[in-house]
Amino acid sequence: MNILALDSSGAVATVALYCDGRIRGEYSIDHKLTHSQTIMPMLDELCSRTEYDVKDTDLIAVAGGPGSFTGLRIGAAAAKGMAFATGCDIMNVPTLEGLCYQFYGYSGIICPLLDARRSQVYSGIYRFENAALKTLYKGEALALDEQLERLKEIEGNIVFLGDGVDVYGEKLVAGFGERCMIAPAHRRYQSAACVAVRAADMLKEGIKPVPAEDFAPEYLRRSQAERERDERLAKEGG
């Protein structure tokens, strides 16, 4: 099984190549260039350096949301383009589940947090049981405080990761004390290698990929521009 994976749902642009249970290469960058400028050149470089022929690809895996609206659209366009070119289907890997694979097998609670601004986050609550990812609360857009209240009702240590940690780290430590572990920088953000491995596990779990024409990101809420437009129209109407 050969999987080309990508994740452009956050600030980090990342691509990976998974071949028969092994990560042959991963390329990640967090820089001022937009994902539209980086994703395809990174994929080309990855395939060149590993001497990989994209025609040998069996599956395209992409972090399908939640996350940055622009980033998700770019990732979707890249994934569809590769899928049409290779004749492969696309596995829509939830961004938060891909993040959890940074701590594959961790015995405590895993809580990815993606900053959605205005004290809102994209977040879910997970744990690994017998090497399988279990969802305690599914990924959704909600107030940070609401998610923290849920966590207070669950026993065990908690690892927090995602870019929301950069914004709310001090609050997390203050609220959970010794129960709280903040993911270190090298395991805090999105990784296409994690997306690839999660996609392989989803196949084993019986989750089916979809044809390129049927794939769409899962935004969970409207874009900031759309929300600001509605707020402006509401004020004008008032």
Domains of the chain, by residue range, sit at 2-95+190-230, 102-187
**Share of residues in the chain with pLDDT > 70 (%):** 92
Residue closest to 108 by CA, chosen among 89, 134, 144, 72: 134
Q: Which amino acid is at 53?
A: D
92, pLDDT greater than 90: yes
pLDDT given at position 237? 62
| pLDDT per position as a tens digit, 121-143 | 999 999 999 999 999 999 999 99
pLDDT given at position 187? 98
Query: 3-class DSSP state for residue 205?
Result: coil
Q: Are strands 13-19 and 22-29 parallel, antiparallel or unpaired?
A: antiparallel
Question: Under a CB-based contact definition with an 8 Å cutoff, are residues 210 and 13 in contact?
Answer: no
| pLDDT per position as a tens digit, 41-50 | 999 999 999 9
Q: Where are the beta strands (DSSP E) in 150-210?
A: 158-161, 180-182
Superfamily of domain 2-95+190-230 in the CATH hierarchy:
ATPase, nucleotide binding domain (3.30.420.40)
Alpha helices in 190-223 (DSSP H): 192-204
CB atoms within 10 A of CB 60: 27
| pLDDT per position as a tens digit, 17-68 | 999 999 999 999 998 778 989 999 999 999 999 999 999 999 999 999 999 9
Q: Whole-prediction pTM value?
A: 0.92
CATH number of 102-187: 3.30.420.40
pLDDT given at position 226? 44
Average pLDDT of the chain?
93
Residue closest to 82 by CA, chosen among 105, 60, 97, 111: 60
Question: Longest C-alpha distance within the chain, in Å?
Answer: 62
Q: Quick one: average pLDDT of 223-228?
A: 46
230, pLDDT greater than 70: no
